[in-house]
Amino acid sequence: MNTATADTLSDDLYHSLLLDYATGRLGEAKNLIIATHISMSRNARRYLEHYESLGGHVLEQDCAPISLSDSALDSILEKIDTLESENTDPQTAVFPGDLNVPAPLQECLGAQRRPLNWKFMYPGFKTFKVDLDCKEAHTRFLKVAPAKRTPHHTHGGLEITLILDGAYEDEFGRYRRGDLIIRDENHTHSPQSCPQNGCVCMVVSDTPIKFTGLSKLLNFFVRI
């Protein structure tokens, strides 16, 4: 019988995502939110360094060398030069409300082909979506007014939330700027935004949330 708690499952998912990021196995949406989290969290950077050093050790100790052509190094250096020349003047974006967001998000949002404007979702909640070349997950941003509570819900798949400003709390804890919150079908919760400052967050999810209990009717009208 599985006796793991929801918090333990979240920790396992967190380290699994960091490991997948270190090994380059994440899709674009999850890669972006993890990269942004790492840029905001000293602890995340320490974990990443550990996983990357483990990967280097494995390559050094367990992977046999292979022969390369004489032109391999020149070919790789040429590709690096091409990538650097294409990114010498990356576009940046002003986040709605002039919110200061980390570089990974600035570059991604700057490449969007449409204006970044908040849209009304339901009272106290605004949102806008980001178009990425990623079929496995959806990326959106939420702006929640102070002291607003999301009705009880669960998730059909993985939902990753990064706090960009303000804070929120749920049944499992309180989260502030830079914190990464991971939820799946094992979690049912009802987050509430900070009473003073509300909350602005980035959300990457496999499927829309599923409202539960008396809020089930919202599933027909609200897609988050």
3-state secondary structure 137-206: CEEEEEEECCCCECCCEEECCCEEEEEEEEEEEECCEEEECCCEEEECCCCCECCEEECCCEEEEEEEEC
Assess whether pLDDT exceeds 60 at residue 58.
no
DSSP string, 119-137: EEEETTEEEEEE--S-SS-
Is residue 38 within 8 Å of residue 44, measured between CB atoms? yes
Q: Could you count the other beta carbons within 10 Å of the beta carbon of residue 96?
A: 17
Assess whether pLDDT exceeds 60 at residue 90.
no
Residue 161 is predicted with a pLDDT of 93
Cα–Cα nearest to 184, from 218, 219, 153, 224: 153
Quick one: what percent of the chain has pLDDT higher than 90?
33
Assess whether pLDDT exceeds 80 at residue 71.
yes
The stretch 112-139 carries a mean pLDDT of 80
The domain containing residue 215 runs over which residues? 1-64+94-224
Choice among 37-46, 92-101, 121-130, 156-165 with the minimum mean pLDDT: 92-101
pLDDT band, very low/low/confident/very high, at 98 (cuts 50, 70, 90): low
Q: What does pTM read for this prediction?
A: 0.78
Inside any domain, residue 112: yes
The stretch 88-112 carries a mean pLDDT of 66
Burial of 55: CB neighbours in 10 Å, binned 0-12, 13-18, 19+: middle
Task: Provide the residue type at 216 as one letter.
Answer: K
133 token code pair:
């070349």
The pLDDT tens digits of the residues spanning 141-177 come to 999 999 998 877 777 788 899 999 999 998 888 999 9
Inside any domain, residue 193: yes
Residue 157 is predicted with a pLDDT of 81
DSSP state of 97: G
Inside any domain, residue 111: yes
The larger pLDDT score, comparing residue 178 to residue 219, is at 178
Assess whether pLDDT exceeds 60 at residue 4.
no
The larger pLDDT score, comparing residue 182 to residue 1, is at 182
Quick one: what percent of the chain has pLDDT higher than 70?
74
Inside any domain, residue 69: no
Inside any domain, residue 89: no
Provide the mean pLDDT of the chain: 79
Inside any domain, residue 54: yes
The total number of structural domains in the chain stands at 1
Inside any domain, residue 72: no
The stretch 63-86 carries a mean pLDDT of 74
Domain of 200, CATH number, reads 2.60.120.10
Inside any domain, residue 79: no
CA distance 203 to 180: 10
- 28's CB contacts (< 8 A; 6+ apart) are 132, 133, 134
Residue 9 is predicted with a pLDDT of 60
The CA-to-CA distance between both ends of the chain, in Å, stands at 32
Backbone angles phi, psi at 128, to 5 degrees: -150, 150
